[in-house]
Amino acid sequence: MFDALAERLEGAWKKLRGQDKISESNILEALRDVRRALLEADVNLQVVKEFIAEVEAKAQGAEVLSGVRPAQQFVKIVHDELVAVMGETNVPLAKADSAPTIVLMAGLQGTGKTTASAKLALHLRKLNRSALLVATDIYRPAAIDQLLTLGKQIGVPVFEMGTGTDPVEIARAGVERAKADGVDTVIIDTAGRLQIDQEMMAELARIKQTVKPQETLLVVDAMTGQEAASLTRTFHERIGITGAILTKLDGDSRGGAALSVRRVSGAPIKFVGVGEKVEALQPFYPERMASRILGMGDVVTLVEKAAEAVDLSDAEKMQEKILTAKFDFTDFLKQMRLMKNMGSLGGLIKLIPGMNKLTDDQLQQGEAQLKQAEAMINSMTPEERRNPDLLAGTPSRRRRIARGSGYSEAAVSKLVTDFTKMRTLMQQMGQGQLPGLGGMGGGPWGGNRPPQPGWRGYPGGANPQKKKKKEKKKKGFGTL
């Protein structure tokens, strides 16, 4: 997401490189590029006009700090304005004074409303809040079955009364069931239409009046661009919503909806869907999203993902294995699967600052290499996984693995060689040795032998004995 926008914005910063200060003349071209980038990202026209006006006013009145280049200062101004446009801070999900908290999900058909309901239920489970899904969409074929399947997948109960009951009555009965069972949060999945119509709005209004939800969340497809903001405003005026969930944000490289919804509709974005998996729902943080847009990564989200997926005791055991060079193919496979649970390789890489330069082709190539490695490791025996040295010295084993995985023997040999090098490198780094960096952590000698006089990289680059002789000679002449 935001790939196209980030690329165009970077072109704007280049206009200020080499400048010694920010002035009205040198930011005009940069602002023109920012405006063009936002419009191409499908940001609402009025939002773009207001955004550019704010950035221009702040940029012209900004004093460039000592040690900070004008281009960096301009990026900071744009970053702060992006945060302001998207809502300043995260707005958490409401919680009722007495259980259950009722969340009403609304939206057009095809926006991913039913899936978003299940994703929200799973998110609450991670926060140790119990949930009940209520199926009131009696119109769309298999909508109830879809919710039942998703509920079973995530371990959350689903309340339904079939397709022959009034949705308002289903919603009321679902809330009563939650009260009786002591459930913390009720999530009501409502029916959608291909477009806004009176019948849908009337039904939503009746359900809302009956159950009196603490949250009315509109599920919006991010790929609809500017329409996402106007749709949110229409629902807010007709029904009264408390927030929005942007789905399919990972499928839109433009990302204009995220920049338009809050400013146009007044409703905060509370969550974003960033993938098809049921775990792919994240709370919306404007500051983190602004960093992603500007190609700065999002380390906080990356750490949160890792904290969810990684067990601390397992991490300590893995660290010990790395330090003692006992890290094997079983551990490698476990780490690959752990990374998969955190999301796609491309999604994780983009969260790392400075890694936004990688192209989609490069990321796909990385994904393919990981799949290839997994297939070859799965073709190994448990003994071979535990002892990679067996493969290094036995060509017949490598040939068998090649046949079993469907890859060439050369590919298997490369995997074994690369793995052995990686294990050695990880061990050296774990012991404070940084191979290839002279004078640091043991230098290029790996810490085994001290640097010898005359070696390349030795401080001074010459034999210190010769240096001493020269110094003595010089001193002798000085006394004459």
- Which structural domain, as residue segments, surrounds residue 228? 101-294
CA distance 150 to 281: 14
Please check whether residues 322 and 246 belong to one and the same domain.
no
Identify whether 78 is part of a domain: yes
CA distance 402 to 378: 11
Tokens of 435: 């191979």
Please check whether residues 115 and 253 belong to one and the same domain.
yes
- Boundary-marking domain end, from 242, 265, 294: 294
Residue that has been written with the tokens 């935001």 in this structure: 2
Residue that has been written with the tokens 């992006």 in this structure: 82
Per the structure, the count of domains in the chain is 3
Query: Which residue in 22, 34, 85 sits closest to 58, CA to CA?
Result: 22
Angstrom CA distances, 470 to 452, 454, 463, 466, 476, stand at 19, 16, 11, 6, 10
Identify whether 61 is part of a domain: yes
Identify whether 153 is part of a domain: yes
Please check whether residues 51 and 113 belong to one and the same domain.
no
- Boundary-marking domain end, from 264, 294, 324: 294
Q: Are 442 and 433 in contact (CB under 8 A)?
A: yes
CA distance 157 to 288: 33
In the structure, what pLDDT confidence band is assigned to residue 211 with cuts at 50, 70 and 90? very high
CATH code of 40's domain: 1.20.120.140
pLDDT digit string, tens, across residues 248-261 = 876 554 567 777 88
3-state secondary structure of 388: coil
CATH code of 412's domain: 1.10.260.30
Say if pTM beats, i.e. exceeds, 0.75: no
- Boundary-marking domain end, from 39, 61, 86: 86
* Element containing residue 11 per DSSP (H, E): helix 3-14
| Torsions phi, psi for 86 (to 5 deg) | -85, -5
Please check whether residues 129 and 243 belong to one and the same domain.
yes
Please check whether residues 243 and 314 belong to one and the same domain.
no
User: By mean pLDDT, which of 78-92, 109-123, 252-266 is the weakest?
Assistant: 252-266
CA distance 38 to 376: 45
pLDDT digit string, tens, across residues 157-195 = 999 998 889 999 999 999 999 999 999 999 999 988 777
CA distance 258 to 251: 13
Identify whether 407 is part of a domain: yes
Please check whether residues 128 and 236 belong to one and the same domain.
yes
Please check whether residues 127 and 249 belong to one and the same domain.
yes
pLDDT digit string, tens, across residues 265-278 = 788 889 988 777 88
Angle between helix 360-378 and helix 409-430 axes, rounded to 10 deg: 100
Identify whether 276 is part of a domain: yes
Please check whether residues 219 and 281 belong to one and the same domain.
yes
